[in-house]
């Protein structure tokens, strides 16, 4: 399988940089996978699990608030928050859900309520996915 350069960055640090076989991203309009020679693309990301596939075991990260850009030079993902999925505690995820619920309660208009409700649903889906995959219980 052909490899391509990939970088995952957050404001705090460069989370991952290297040659990969495939990256699966939680796109705002649905999940998508990127392989070598993918067509150019820019996508907003929703909260979800980003999976990096290289030789060996896949690496999974919980990501939130960012975008992905596929170009002729590879894939760059920039997110506000990224943590290895196995390090994501149920308490941290519960805090994320609580913050989203606070935003829903404070929403003044329909679109704001819709976005907050959608975020809550996304985070609860992640919680159920990770609880089935053995999320850390810190």
Task: Give the C-alpha separation, 121 to 40, whole Å.
Answer: 29
Choose between 93 and 83: higher pLDDT: 83
CB atoms within 10 A of CB 88: 21
Candidates 66, 100, 69, 63; CA nearest to 83 is 63
Q: H-helix or E-strand containing 127?
A: helix 110-133
Q: Which pLDDT does position 138 carry in this prediction?
A: 36
Q: pLDDT band at residue 133, thresholds of 50, 70 and 90?
A: low
DSSP string over 13-68: -EEEEEEESEEEEEETTEEEEEETTPPPEEEEE-SEEEEEE-SSS-EEEEEEEEEE
Answer whether residue 37 shows pLDDT above 80: yes
Give the model confidence (pLDDT) of 95-111 as tens digits: 888 888 888 888 888 88
């Amino acid at each position: 399988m052909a490899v391509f350069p990939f970088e995952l960055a957050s404001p705090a640090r460069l989370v991952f940089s290297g040659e990969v076989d495939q990256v699966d991203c939680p796109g705002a309009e649905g999940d998508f996978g990127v392989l070598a020679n993918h067509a150019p693309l820019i996508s907003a990301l929703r909260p979800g699990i980003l999976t990096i596939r290289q030789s060996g075991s896949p690496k999974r990260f919980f990501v939130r608030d960012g975008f992905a850009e596929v170009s002729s030079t590879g894939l760059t993902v920039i997110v506000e928050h990224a943590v290895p999925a196995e390090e994501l505690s149920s308490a941290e995820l519960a805090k994320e859900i609580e913050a989203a619920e606070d935003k829903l309660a404070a929403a003044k208009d329909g679109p704001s309520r819709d976005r907050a409700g959608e975020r809550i649903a996304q985070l609860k889906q992640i919680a159920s996915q990770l609880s089935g995959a053995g999320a850390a219980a810190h």
